[in-house]
Amino acid sequence: MKSLDALNSFLTSPKKIVITHHYNADADALGSSLGLFHYLNQKGHQCVVISPNSMADFLLWMPGAREVLLFDKHAEACKKAVSEADVLFSLDYNQFSRTKFLAPVLEQSNAVKVIIDHHLFPDDVFEYGLSLPDKSSTCEMVYDYILSSSGEYLLNLDIARCLYAGVMTDTGSFRFSCTTPSVHRMVAHLMEKGLETAAIHTAVFDNYQENRLRFLGFVLSERLHLIPEAHAAIISVSRNDLNRFNVNTGDSEGIVNYPLSMKQVLFSIFISEREDEIRMSFRSKGQFNVNEFARKYFQGGGHHNAAGGKSERSLQQTFELLIQYIQENQLLLQSCYAESL
Ligand SMILES: [Mn+2]
């Protein structure tokens, strides 16, 4: 794969550029896409951001969010933009299948394909780009790209807001182990551009509707299962539970983190019953590697402290399997716990 430096010599004249990210965009996916969008537009390119599906409400404050083309709403406009594009950026994902229904459209594109991403094992479809699993977020990588392309003078408040949102969420508000000194230097730099961090934290995190807060209270009280000897916790949510509180896909986001606020818990799992599968989120604090766990047992993966997976079994069967796999890892979890402070 050729470097982003090499791409820059291709971008010396104005190009038509499409920027995409994964299905169910999170703040890093959308923030990195819009950060790059605001940057490349200022460079004279004609950019469009395409999202595979409609985005969660807590992202709509981002500058440019309402200009994003949604494949589930504007399929024809998306197809047209992709077919006319000279360059296609893939941000915060490493294979087209992560865009679900948009994937066939991207696969047919003749545009130069570029990846900027921090997940393991990128597909070989990309001609240019950067895949750095040690980076905190794709937003940090877009920031690095802007600086390394001598674009510092174009780094404005809109870009700062978008990029900060992704780095804030992907580092768990600067507490995961991926929060390097460069992350803090980046944030300091963005603050010098006028960024107000508190307002963005509020926009992203303090946005619950009543049903979502009540749902959170319910699952913590009624659906939390602890496995104390393995320092693990499982929250298991059925389709009925989701319907009862009328919660959408995005509403369960982040609930997986709550069990980690207990001293004795260092591995937390959230499983929920969706249309066609059991969706799984894994989080850990410290040394226990949930990326390996998700990859080994549940067709998933992600990062050291945060990963996802899925199961085609029933909710109950998935729960029982989880208990079994946690027991298999019990000694490891105990030693991770012994090494924590
Ligand atoms: Mn990310």
Q: Can you give the pLDDT at residue 1?
A: 93
| Same-domain pairing of 171 and 48 | yes
Going from the Cα of 229 to the center of ligand 1, the distance in angstroms, rounded, reads 32
Domain match, 57 and 176 both: yes
Alpha-carbon distance of 88 to 110, in angstroms, equals: 9
For ligand 1, the distance from its centroid to the CA atom of residue 240, given in whole angstroms, is: 30
- Which pLDDT value is given to residue 284? 95
Nearest 10 degrees: Cα torsion 181, 307, 96, 3? 20
Please indicate, yes or no, whether residues 192 and 230 belong to a single structural domain of this protein: no
Asked whether residue 88 falls in the same domain as residue 200, the answer is yes
Is residue 32 domain-shared with residue 134, that is, in the same domain? yes
82 CA to middle of ligand 1, Å?
23
Question: For position 250, what pLDDT does the model report?
Answer: 72
**Percentage of the chain lying above the pLDDT 90 cut:** 90
pLDDT at 324: 98
Domain hosting residue 245, numbered range: 211-339
Residue where a domain stops, chosen among 189, 205, 221? 205
What confidence tens digit (pLDDT) does each residue in 287-326 have? 999 999 999 999 999 889 999 999 999 999 999 999 999 9
230 C-alpha vs ligand 1 centroid, how far in Å?
28
Residues 215 and 150 in one domain: no
Are 129 and 255 contained in the same domain?
no
The secondary structure of 186-204 as a DSSP string is HHHHHHHTT--HHHHHHHH
**Cα dihedral across residues 290, 129, 3, 181: positive or negative:** negative
Distance 29 CA to ligand 1 centre (A): 6
The pLDDT of residue 57 is: 87
- Output the pLDDT for position 207: 86
pLDDT of residue 276: 86
The enclosing domain of 151 has a CATH number of 3.90.1640.10
Relative to beta strand 16-21, strand 46-51 is: parallel
The number of folded domains in the chain is 2
Give the CATH number, domain containing residue 288.
3.10.310.30
Distance (angstroms) between ligand 1 centre and the Cα of 59 equals 14
Residue corresponding to tokens 């249309």:
275
- The pLDDT, as a whole number, for residue 177 is 85
Asked if 212 contacts 251 with a C-beta cutoff of 8 angstroms, the reply is: yes
Name which of 170, 155, 257, 157 is nearest 197 in CA terms: 157
Which of 190, 205, 220 is a domain's end point?
Answer: 205
Residues 253 and 134 in one domain: no
List, in order, residues 6 or more apart from 140 with CB less than 8 Å away: 118, 163, 166, 167, 182, 183, 186
Co-location of 225 and 200 in the same domain: no
How far is ligand 1, taken at its centre, from the CA of residue 331, in Å?
A: 30
Per-residue pLDDT tens digits for 54-91? 998 899 999 999 999 999 999 999 999 999 999 999 99
Please tell me what DSSP assigns to residue 318.
H
Regarding whether 178 and 255 lie in a shared domain, the answer is no
Q: Strand ranges (DSSP E) for the chain?
A: 16-21, 46-51, 69-70, 87-91, 112-117, 128-131, 224-227, 232-237, 267-273, 278-284, 301-302, 306-311
- Cα-to-centroid distance, 258 and ligand 1 (Å): 20
Weakly modelled stretches of the chain, pLDDT under 50:
none
**What is the 317 CA–ligand 1 centroid distance (Å)?**
30
Q: Determine the Cα–Cα distance for residues 43 and 152; give it in Å rounded to an integer.
A: 12
Q: What is the pLDDT of residue 161?
A: 98
For ligand 1, the distance from its centroid to the CA atom of residue 238, given in whole angstroms, is 27
Same domain as 227, residue 149 = no
Measured in angstroms, how far is the CA atom of residue 137 from the centroid of ligand 1? 5
Same domain, 116 and 259: no
